[in-house]
Structure 1
């Protein structure tokens, strides 16, 4: 039987011409007993967008047929972009009239119809392969005999028509969930039926419920999964303990956030007789409990990752596993996979070992507690934990050495503030503060990076299939634009086409502590590609690492669990034929792609709930004036992020009454036609809160007196101070 990989290679070959199903079967020599399975394979590849079926029933590679297959990213104004599945293909712009009834998130086939100067492509959607959403969350607007569901997601430009009998008794203004029964066609809106009424807009907890439904996040586990989990014994089997290295006498600890309950990792450290460090990273052995193709495994695969909101978590694994038998709770025996690494005082790795183990964590430490001991040297805590202080000091010293070594090799360290939402007992927003990042975070970050790199390089050296965490080189065009912009600021960045991350890290160090630091960090981050999972090792550009994986969080990330399984396969001693290895790699690539998608869904949901909380926080602040930074510039206005609150809003160009402003894309600026005032990305500015729209996740600002736009020829300190 022809495999998926073989069929794709055949169709993508330069000599291939589109063939019918009958011709494919004949050319590839598919026997009668294999034809049904082969037809199913071809149809699945069409459904996934890997190949395209023409109107004449012939099959070909989309890239060679002037077609693009990808996911549609919608815009509130009705147009969108098709983000291609194929690497290296630019996004395809789709006008509103050429959307073909597609929604944001749909997998579509689009025909390229125009190639503009500068490489921008424009096209038309000709086929919808998979619908990205089947339900819609929104506000119900009641009319006589019917109603509309106005979507929460601003990227959906359609209201959903609902007949009154299908409204489930929803009242005007309530938040509902509607199932789409007919998708939009030409000028007709989608039709749906209300399947759930979430409540009024001010119902406690409704923000989380909206995001959960909007992203179709699974909250409850299936009965089969819960039944399997309940059958897992809490006591460790004596026979299993005899087959593992017993590290229960070692001084191991966990360091996590105050609210954490799923403890994936524990760490230990020791100074050897030769003066070297021996770092121990001990990871929960989830693969021992979760068997492949079990109900727990299948549901974990579908979820892909845990999702974290300010007031709750949606775990990948049932609580019996995530919070109990797998969690490395203090003073309890736990099964682990340990990575021991010997480092010189300069941070050079000279030896490592990876094996199954059993540990007993001595203490559950928090980031705050470790900071108070190591940085603040709190006398009471130092005395209470004097039995642990030497180990913590050694961890601090090694982490600093590893960090400095990583930065020297070119690993990018973006210093951008992250907001933390502080909730009151009722779940309301009490404050928004900058999330802390200090020595305790660095200890865990560096140790996990070291373990992940060690496992990745080990699997690569064995040449055995696994899942890697890859970060591809930046898009050459975006990096060239970034290079041009910083050149105007007085900095150079040579060789964008073949740039090494060390050059970018050097730039970040040059601007550190200067007024333009945040601007440069933001623009460089925007020019980067998104890290993803892959069965092919392509290195990690952002970490300047030749080989990287995710191994250290199997309780909350499915790829980590799979890496554990692949690692264990290398210990069994089973031989694998080339065909079996190829099948294994193809299977892992499917897992990697699915996990990357689920990761993006989780990230979008986490960002959205934070955005809702931020907007709600601003509801009672109308008319107040704040200092901010211009965080984005577009033809229609300025995006401004408030200092200290990290809330972003828009100053629409129509409210900038003193002049007509023109957008200069190359300069990231709006420039006044008459006054020559210039508002540029990164400039400080004062704004007044004008309006807040929670359903649209939107805060509008007005320019306030005291904002200091500059005149042409006047270069502000934010752009001229280079120290």
Structure 2
């Protein structure tokens, strides 16, 4: 008879043989039979109770160890491009060690969020404890569902809050997490149901959808914006590296100031302008732009860096901000508060009297802001109403800044960037989160001054890195497509204006169109239509220029607190100029293309979330005025109806085609018009309308309108279209007629 093994021997054998860990396997390994097997069973139960072993199904494993085969969730790539995973099965110790996925030839490509079944083997390495080899892919992250829960007799349903969706989701009683009727919930799809409603389980209860501050919370969850920092990132932010003067110049004697909105959450740029005393630059200026040195605190490959790259940028809502960096950095150490020392990246530029940049020099420095100013405060001071803070700064700081701005304006007028005039809406909330008012922000010279200073610094950064032949991320804005220009031309002609055709498009041509519309009733419409014709800007390591700014070389340098692209440019300058060891890493350079795509996508995600939030706040603001009439203009024409932009708030609403009139309407997509089959009434973009608010749904942000008047005239009474028969033939729109004529010519030639 073999002796009974000790607990240590059992534990060691299970660790060495993770694939043979049932009681039968252990008994066979130690040659135990009969009563000894019963004693082994008792011994292993004791070890389980003491926490030495963990039982999974009929097998045991050493506590803190992972099983030989496990269900894993793939994590985002690390800075070196390696894929790691985390165990998903219940009863598995999450701190058992990192799991590296080792792909073999023929394996499918895996992405963050994929769920896989993998075979694990333990390794004795510092960086990770297990290697995983794919057995099969189970699937990707389940589809996320955000909506209002409606309780029923057999569970309930989730009604989506996205105004573009109407699909409901069925929830079983065991999957509702105790959610109450009318509660905002987040869920995920389950099962693979082919018939009936799709099925979901609730994963989070988010409270009253009409409650205070719920609007931005909806957008955060709906668009998947990360709003919780990993523990490792927070730990790094709480233990920042010390700042020394190594590689830095002392700029603390310069009269640098920050100028920001009154509600600014961070202050990442400071400016100073001085007359250039060099004899070769009469009427010129020395322009300083200093930016928070985020690269010192966020090192390549760190947990902070990985999270910042994943977020891409900060996302701003009327009631909160989801920052790219923890508040310890964004609100304090990387914010250029007045009268405190802060590390910075600075550029000193020589500007001539015509607003052109003669030269520039970049440096790392230590600065001390002389004042934290607001746009309105600065403008009032220059206009003759200084306060106690701005009065002593007028002559040494503010007036030279405005004089430099006058020179920069001359340079701007020469290059002719796109001069859109689109007032920004400002939503004012009460402490409870209720909308108090919707107004349009005033545009001051103080705003434009800072914008021009930032543009010059961004140009200098791109040009410096080009000089160094160093990789970087450009801010790219390509010119509009021919199709979008044709659509803009149609809108311009319908409004009585002209847009040059048959020549290389320049921003000056578009500015000429904007000047034609300035002051007219079509002013806002032409500005919006011009904006819509533009391509979306993005980040890329290739330089295709910036059409909107009429600049060939442009990169984002001035906001590394809230944009990862700027942090990349800072690191590129640090490495290229030899300003420290925390510059752009080899991984950063090798993955610039991927980084550009990631942060471009993140930017679009934030823009969509911000836009949806504004829509919901506007719907909430107007929900008490259902039945009231409003004036507005047609901003879009589709087969299913008209989009109307309301004059008072700038809110967008839909007039369904059934509410347009009592007749059939032909839709002409080329001229963007609807034409009545009985009356010949033609409705197009830019027309002035009066509408009645029929419905306002705050949870989705949807506004439904009824058309009352067009161009101050009531709708003509047309004969209602009957059945599905062909409507009475009417004269085709101009664009459609031209198309038909071309088709006839082609037939004759054939």
TM-score normalized by structure 1?
A: 0.76
- Would you say 1:250 and 2:254 are equivalent positions? yes
Comparing 326-335 with 189-198, greater Cα deviation is found at 189-198
Question: Which of 174, 193, 207 is the aligned partner of 1:165?
Answer: 174
Aligned to 2:156: 147
Comparing 528-537 with 506-515, greater Cα deviation is found at 506-515
Report if the CA contact (8 A) 1:485-1:666 is conserved.
no
Aligned to 1:492: 499
Distance 1:133 1:163, change over 3 A: closer
SS in 2 for 1:639: strand
After superposition, what is the alpha-carbon deviation per residue over 1:573-617, rounded to whole angstroms, capped at 9, x for unaligned? 999xxxx99976441111111111111111111111111100000
Residues 634-713 of structure 1 mapped to structure 2, 5 A cutoff: 634-704=638-708, 708=712
| Equivalent-residue separation in structure 1 for 2:472 and 2:405 (angstroms) | 27
Aligned to 1:514: 520
Aligned to 1:309: 317
After superposition, what is the alpha-carbon deviation per residue over 1:667-692, rounded to whole angstroms, capped at 9, x for unaligned? 22222222332322111111121111
Cα distance, 1:645 vs structure 2: 1.1
After superposition, what is the alpha-carbon deviation per residue over 1:523-557, rounded to whole angstroms, capped at 9, x for unaligned? 22212110000011111111111111111001111
Aligned to 2:212: 204
| Equivalent-residue separation in structure 2 for 1:169 and 1:142 (angstroms) | 10
Distance 1:490 1:196, change over 3 A: closer
Report if the CA contact (8 A) 2:673-2:682 is conserved.
yes
Cα distance, 1:484 vs structure 2: 4.5
Report if the CA contact (8 A) 1:261-1:327 is conserved.
no
Aligned to 2:377: 369
Report if the CA contact (8 A) 1:309-1:609 is conserved.
yes
Report if the CA contact (8 A) 1:407-1:413 is conserved.
no
- Would you say 1:294 and 2:302 are equivalent positions? yes
CA root-mean-square deviation: 2.9
| Equivalent-residue separation in structure 1 for 2:332 and 2:487 (angstroms) | 50
Report if the CA contact (8 A) 2:490-2:671 is conserved.
no
Report if the CA contact (8 A) 1:269-1:395 is conserved.
yes
| Equivalent-residue separation in structure 2 for 1:132 and 1:629 (angstroms) | 43
Distance 1:130 1:568, change over 3 A: farther
Report if the CA contact (8 A) 2:311-2:324 is conserved.
yes
| Equivalent-residue separation in structure 2 for 1:340 and 1:405 (angstroms) | 18
- Would you say 1:447 and 2:456 are equivalent positions? no
Question: Which of 397, 422, 425 is the aligned partner of 1:391?
Answer: 397
- Would you say 1:381 and 2:381 are equivalent positions? no
| Equivalent-residue separation in structure 2 for 1:552 and 1:246 (angstroms) | 20
After superposition, what is the alpha-carbon deviation per residue over 1:347-389, rounded to whole angstroms, capped at 9, x for unaligned? 12111111111111000001111121224x22x5289514334
Cα distance, 1:303 vs structure 2: 1.2
Cα distance, 1:193 vs structure 2: 0.8
Question: Which of 482, 492, 498 is the aligned partner of 1:476?
Answer: 482
After superposition, what is the alpha-carbon deviation per residue over 1:616-655, rounded to whole angstroms, capped at 9, x for unaligned? 0011001212221212111222211111311121222212
| Equivalent-residue separation in structure 2 for 1:537 and 1:129 (angstroms) | 41
Aligned to 1:121: none
Aligned to 1:283: 291
Comparing 671-680 with 433-442, greater Cα deviation is found at 671-680
Report if the CA contact (8 A) 2:170-2:199 is conserved.
yes
Report if the CA contact (8 A) 1:533-1:592 is conserved.
yes
Cα distance, 1:426 vs structure 2: 1.7
Aligned to 2:200: 192
Residues 305-344 of structure 1 mapped to structure 2, 5 A cutoff: 305-344=313-352
Query: Which structure is larger by alpha-carbon Rg, 1 or 2?
Result: 2
SS in 2 for 1:338: strand
Distance 1:501 1:130, change over 3 A: farther
Report if the CA contact (8 A) 1:410-1:503 is conserved.
no
Distance 1:635 1:619, change over 3 A: same
Cα distance, 1:330 vs structure 2: 0.2
Report if the CA contact (8 A) 2:497-2:513 is conserved.
no
| Equivalent-residue separation in structure 2 for 1:691 and 1:187 (angstroms) | 32
| Equivalent-residue separation in structure 1 for 2:350 and 2:499 (angstroms) | 39
Distance 1:47 1:314, change over 3 A: closer
SS in 2 for 1:618: helix
TM-score normalized by structure 2?
A: 0.73
| Equivalent-residue separation in structure 1 for 2:474 and 2:642 (angstroms) | 39
Distance 1:563 1:706, change over 3 A: closer
Distance 1:563 1:144, change over 3 A: same
Unaligned runs of 5+ in 2: 1-101, 113-136, 717-729, 732-750
Report if the CA contact (8 A) 1:465-1:581 is conserved.
no
Comparing 449-458 with 212-221, greater Cα deviation is found at 212-221
Report if the CA contact (8 A) 1:408-1:502 is conserved.
no
After superposition, what is the alpha-carbon deviation per residue over 1:398-419, rounded to whole angstroms, capped at 9, x for unaligned? 2243234224323112112221
- Would you say 1:459 and 2:484 are equivalent positions? no
Question: Which of 224, 234, 243 is the aligned partner of 1:226?
Answer: 234
Question: Which of 407, 410, 420 is the aligned partner of 2:416?
Answer: 410
Unaligned runs of 5+ in 1: 1-35, 49-127, 714-723
- Size of the aligned set, in residue pairs, is 587
Report if the CA contact (8 A) 2:672-2:684 is conserved.
yes
Distance 1:450 1:38, change over 3 A: farther
| Equivalent-residue separation in structure 2 for 1:220 and 1:559 (angstroms) | 21
| Equivalent-residue separation in structure 2 for 1:38 and 1:546 (angstroms) | 45
Cα distance, 1:241 vs structure 2: 2.1
SS in 1 for 2:401: helix
SS in 2 for 1:666: coil
Distance 1:151 1:688, change over 3 A: same
Report if the CA contact (8 A) 2:340-2:369 is conserved.
yes
Comparing 347-356 with 701-710, greater Cα deviation is found at 701-710
After superposition, what is the alpha-carbon deviation per residue over 1:504-527, rounded to whole angstroms, capped at 9, x for unaligned? 223223332233222222222212
| Equivalent-residue separation in structure 2 for 1:269 and 1:187 (angstroms) | 69
Distance 1:129 1:393, change over 3 A: farther
Report if the CA contact (8 A) 1:625-1:688 is conserved.
yes
| Equivalent-residue separation in structure 2 for 1:171 and 1:574 (angstroms) | 56
Residues 410-449 of structure 1 mapped to structure 2, 5 A cutoff: 410-449=416-455
Cα distance, 1:464 vs structure 2: 1.0
Cα distance, 1:458 vs structure 2: 1.3
Report if the CA contact (8 A) 1:670-1:678 is conserved.
yes
Distance 1:440 1:573, change over 3 A: closer
